[in-house]
Amino acid sequence: MRRRILLAASALLLAGAPVSAVPLARVEGVEDPALDAAIARIVGEAPSHSDNRWRNRERARDAGEQIRRYLDSQGYFAALIDPRLDDDQRPLVRVRPGERFTIATLDIRFDTPEGGDQPGDEIRSAANLRTGQPMRSQGIIDAEAAVVEALRNNGWPLARAGEHAFTADHLDASVTVEMHFNTGPFLRFGEPQLAGGLADLREDYVASLAPFSPGDPVSTRQLNIYTQRLQALGSVALAEARLAPEEEGSGNIRAVDVRMEPTPRHRIQLSARYATTEGAGAGAEWARRNLFRRDETLTLIGRASELNTGGEASLLFPHWRRFAQTLEVGAGLALENTDAFEQDSISARATLSRPVTDQLFASAGLSGQIARITDAAGERTLNSITFPLSLAYDDRDDVLDPQSGIGADMEIRPGLTFGDTQSQYVRAVLGARTYFPVSERMLIAVRGRVGALFGVEAQSVPADLRFYAGGGGSVRGYGYQALSPRVIGINTGELEPFGGRSLVETSVEARWRYSERLGFVGFLDGGVASSGIEPDFDEMRFGIGAGVRYYPGFGPLRVDVAAPLNRRSGDAAIHLYISIGQAF
């Protein structure tokens, strides 16, 4: 009885077990390992073995037909393929590939309108075909597409492929290739012209963004680039650049019609945040697009918080004097009140920036500030002029919620201070962050930042140019600026927070995406700001915590709770942070 039960259980287990797929047919006769492996992939699989002879014959014929088509596409035009059943009545295909045919002669011909310009050898070379190479179908398809693209980007925008002819010679295993292309008329660019839409941009500004000059051969690639440039303008919601219809007497010159639809002229943004270390804060931003009809943007920003209240006005000039070069000028007023200092300041700045590559950006600027400071060193007025120079690299896939890539930035800021104190200095900051996907739902994010103030003591520069550590954007788990140097205050005779000459910060986060809308984070932050040019690593402190991320569709809403690992007297046991976007 027990034996019957075991047999029945085994039968049930076997019946419920998944059946492994098997090759559609066994293949014999291919000596080249690479070709044999390719054929095995082409043949594919069947759900399981079959004992039905008729079904196995059908499988062998299907496999043989797939092999024949593949070998033809690879130039084995004399292949022998024999589908049959083996001794066990299973599907078998015997294959003798034979010699691979090569290209003996290659002739690329262009059919042009009567009296039209003939394409040169540089267009033919786009085919990337040569005599003696294997005759592959994909190679011909790629060559056809490449030649048509070359024609359309060199003055023949209406070019298309014609009828091709291929003659195979089985005596010497060679193929004569004759490819035909209908070029259509040769055309040159005329002037860009506004042809529709309501975007109120100056016509000369729109023309200045064109990647071509009037008289250049028409290029569909250049037209696409032009459309992308127009589409990227802040005052444009939708754009298209295309050749205008032919006009009588225009010859081979075709104007470019530009059509654009505008975005709303005004934009308003509101923001709010809260952290136990920095208190509550709110901000409002109003922007006016296309101020002088060259896509300029005027932005007014107001902010109010326990630490920093003030406002700023800025004017952005995109594509200033040359494409992709941006000029920004601005001025601001700030009333700052932190544990380390009180500073009331008025500032003005001008910054010129442009991309070096698709991922690398450079900028240079001039900044001036008048500041009234009260801190542990007393009350004084410090006026400063700085010359910020920066490089930034960013290939991250998303700014608010990056999943991969690297972001890095470096700023060198020479400056001089005058007023109650005179000094010259250089402030340098280097930061980087990167991301390591562990699985589909888990990734590790790492951040580091270092800074130094050369040539001057910390009290000789404005308070906002010193280095501080601690708080939501630095080391979570510690108070705002709590990991900064402390000095004896002139007025109080007690230790008070004071900015430093050097900074080290680091963070590691494990981010787990639980669902489309919800995620969780565990993190470890560390950092210290030191009074000397060399960081005091013995004073470095660490905070640990966890957080929740809610994804509404535009970027995560962040709630973090952190605690200090190296808790000191006066440090709170826990801190809460609420904001938009990942921590880094």
DSSP letter string over 66-77?
Answer: HHHHHHHHTT-T
For the chain, which residues make up each domain, given as ranges? 20-96, 102-182, 188-262, 266-580
156 and 183 in contact (C-beta within 8 Å)? yes
Distance CA 453, CA 467 (A): 8
User: Residue written as tokens 């562990």?
Assistant: 438
CATH of 266-580, one of 3.20.20.10, 1.10.1660.10, 3.90.1150.10, 2.40.160.50: 2.40.160.50
pTM confidence score:
0.76
Give the residue with greater pLDDT, 498 vs 240. 240
Neighbour tally for 48: CB within 10 Å = 9
Mean pLDDT of 338-358: 92
Nearest of 431, 316, 415, 317 to residue 366 by alpha carbon: 415
| Same fold: 102-182 with 266-580 | no
- Taking only Cα atoms into account, the Rg of the chain, rounded to an integer number of angstroms, comes to 35
Q: Give 320's strand partners.
A: none
199 and 262 in contact (C-beta within 8 Å)? yes
Digit-coded pLDDT (tens) for 68-91: 999 999 999 999 999 999 988 999
Digit-coded pLDDT (tens) for 91-116: 999 999 999 999 999 999 999 998 77
CATH-assigned architecture of domain 188-262:
Roll (3.10)
Structure token digits, residue 420: 């109650």
- Please give the class, per CATH, of domain 20-96: alpha beta
Digit-coded pLDDT (tens) for 118-177: 898 899 999 999 999 999 999 999 999 999 999 999 999 999 999 999 999 999 999 999
Is residue 37 helix, strand or coil?
helix
> Does the domain spanning 102-182 belong to CATH 3.10.20.310?
yes
